[in-house]
Amino acid sequence: MSGSSRVAAGIFSSRVVGLVREILIGSILGRSASADAFRAAMRVPNMIQNLLGEGAISASFVPVFAGLVEEDREEDSHRLAASILGHLAALVSLLVVLTIVFARPLVWLVTVGRWSGDRYEWAIELTRITAAGAGLLVIAALCLGILNSHRQYFLPYAAPMLWSGAQIVVLLGILVFDAQTGATEISDGARRALAAATVVGAFLQLAIQLPAVARVVGTFRPTLARDDLVTDVLRRFVPALSTRGVVQLSSFLDLALAAFLVTGAVATLGMVMPLYLISIGVFGFSVATAELTEISRSGLLDGAVGRRVRIGLRRVLLPTGLVAPILIVGSPIVVDGLYGWLSRLVPFATLDDGGITVTALTLSAFALGLPAAMQARVTQNALFALGDVKGPARVAAVRLLVTAIAGFVLMIQFDHLALPVVDLPADASAAVRSAADDSLDDWARSVGVDLDDGPWGTIAVDGFPHSPPWQALPSRVREDAGSPLAHLGPVGLGLASALASWVELRLLRQRLKKGVMASVESGIVINVLAGASVVAVVALVVRLFAPVPSPIPLLLLGPLALGAYIGTLTWLGMGPLSRSTLPRPAQWPLDDDVWAD
């Protein structure tokens, strides 16, 4: 089993369990104020984890440590691991304490002071609980880097199953106990228990890796000793930290921008991102991680690095051709099949028909940038392996700027478009429709907005396109958790993210090509596009002719799309059959090293 396959297997295992967690969170919390608070409370601790964890460690620690392992410098590698553990633990402990103490200003900062009331107070309290788990996850990320350098991939990437599993246990408890009491909203104790489960899960994720780490580095005790190797890692760590810092600013930017939107926007992003990131994690990140390790261990020359990058790009393009059209065209099936069916069974769920539609449209918007995001992970890690950490940092800053400008303008405009939270059946009487219209008019007068017909069958709130373009909806609309409308603001953020992903890929490719020629053959791209087009048609047909209650359409879409994609690629000479039973055409675009890998 290749390195990227083991990474993919581990990530896939953890992502599947994580998806179960997200299904339960999305179905139980929905697009409520409680969901917004919980999602916001996870952002500050996640910043610590992502800022100091996998990203910075991959760019600074792994290249040095993997080189020592390859050279059989066992004593030096053990000493380096212990010293980095000591430095990292000291820094993380300080940041966790600061997060707990300054939770209130931090939450105010990441929501740009736009939140108030219970949602704001709960976000503060839950942030203080979840912060403790962030430090444990950073140490777990160091363990991951150590094990990866020894080509042990599956365990560290599968370990997050325990983090998700702890939350799943609590969520199932909420379903059983809160539903039995006839509650109309999740209880205060349930909110706290869900936050505490993130800390318990982080401890379990770290604990399961420690025995494996001890076997490869001996006694894993932290020290603050400094030598040339530690200095080299710290020297790399600072620019890598700036790169990850820009990426994390992008994550906070999403939350800050969403704070200008109506209640439920943050929760919508929380439901969409796991579906969007699972593809990047399973395919893009797994390939990028394996290639980073191989390049770092072997010290390849530029020509050979280009070869490895081309192989990596091919590997991510093939699954992208299947996943992207499913998420773009089949997003209503995916969202309803994962979140909708369970929300209908939970008495206190807040995920209504309008919310499902908005979530699906947001997923489609983000998925437009999926091909670029997948390739960008491979290209960025290739630059890291070549020692270029400043270039990706500058590119990440440009991505942040594009997201900020395009995201703000688009989300404000799209937030002035809305759908009713409950769709009326086609055979509803004129009296029922008139009563629904009267109810909307009464709500509009109560919050001081005008309603009109918008494009694509939507409802325009205070006009669309709205002017001035930076004017958000009135605060009474934004804070109204009982609004009869589901606003499309998150869709604008998704479109901006897709645009930023393509800009980022373009700049990263230009940076890499200065020293490494690494482009994918046009034949592969054309064949993948052909397969993706067939998958899109399949998704559209399932949407049109399988309007049965979920999750049946989703269960149909998966195998049908996979069969159509493999069949199309096989017919074009790229499928698995072509490797064994079909002769390879002379124009076959893949060279022999792909099969070897």
Using alpha carbons, select from 98, 109, 107 the residue that is nearest to residue 125. 107
- Based on the domain organization, do 162 and 42 belong to the same domain? yes
Under the banding of pLDDT at 50, 70 and 90, the label for residue 118 is confident
> What confidence tens digit (pLDDT) does each residue in 422-438 have?
766 666 667 766 777 77
**Does the structure show a pLDDT above 90 at 547?**
no
Under the banding of pLDDT at 50, 70 and 90, the label for residue 577 is very low
Alpha-carbon distances of 259 from 20, 37, 40, 255, rounded to whole Å:
27, 11, 10, 6
Domain membership flag for residue 455: no
The secondary structure of 513-563, three-state, reads HCCCCCCCCHHHHHHHHHHHHHHHHHHHHHHHHCCCCCCHHHHHHHHHHHH
**Does the structure show a pLDDT above 50 at 4?**
yes
Peptide bond preceding 468: is omega within 30 degrees of 0, i.e. cis? yes
Helix and strand numbers (H, E) in the chain are 26, 4
What integer is the mean pLDDT of 557-580? 79
Under the banding of pLDDT at 50, 70 and 90, the label for residue 549 is low
Peptide bond preceding 45: is omega within 30 degrees of 0, i.e. cis? no
> What confidence tens digit (pLDDT) does each residue in 313-330 have?
787 888 889 999 999 999
Domain membership flag for residue 433: no
Domain membership flag for residue 482: no
**Does the structure show a pLDDT above 70 at 515?**
no
- Based on the domain organization, do 85 and 222 belong to the same domain? yes
Domain membership flag for residue 337: yes
Specify whether the backbone of 417 is left (phi greater than 0), alpha (psi in -120 to 50) or beta. Answer: beta
Domain membership flag for residue 592: yes
Q: Position of tokens 């054309």?
A: 526
For residue 461, give the H/E element and its range.
strand 459-461
**Domain limit, last residue, from 387, 415, 443:** 415
Domain membership flag for residue 490: no
> What confidence tens digit (pLDDT) does each residue in 475-508 have?
888 887 778 888 999 999 999 999 999 999 999 8
- Tell me how far apart the alpha carbons of residues 191 and 29 are, in angstroms, rounded to a whole number: 10
Model pTM greater than 0.95?
Answer: no
- Based on the domain organization, do 410 and 527 belong to the same domain? no
**Domain limit, last residue, from 390, 415, 440:** 415
Q: What are the phi and psi torsion angles at 461 (to 5°)?
A: -105, 115
* The pLDDT of residue 103: 92
Answer for the pair 515, 300: CB distance below 8 angstroms, yes or no.
Answer: no
- Based on the domain organization, do 409 and 530 belong to the same domain? no
Domain membership flag for residue 324: yes
Structural domain for 541, as ranges: 523-596
Answer for the pair 330, 97: CB distance below 8 angstroms, yes or no.
Answer: no
**Does the structure show a pLDDT above 70 at 560?**
yes
Under the banding of pLDDT at 50, 70 and 90, the label for residue 278 is confident
- Based on the domain organization, do 529 and 399 belong to the same domain? no
Q: Which residues of 527-550 are buried (b: 16+ CB within 10 A; e: fewer)?
A: bbebbbebbbebbeebbeeeeeeb
240 exposed, middle or buried (CB, 10 Å; 0-12, 13-18, 19+)? buried
Peptide bond preceding 455: is omega within 30 degrees of 0, i.e. cis? no
- Based on the domain organization, do 33 and 170 belong to the same domain? yes
Q: Domain total for the chain?
A: 2
Specify whether the backbone of 151 is left (phi greater than 0), alpha (psi in -120 to 50) or beta. Answer: left
Domain membership flag for residue 299: yes
* The pLDDT of residue 292: 56
Percent of the chain with pLDDT over 90: 25
* The pLDDT of residue 10: 78
**Domain limit, last residue, from 400, 415, 430:** 415
Answer for the pair 488, 415: CB distance below 8 angstroms, yes or no.
Answer: yes
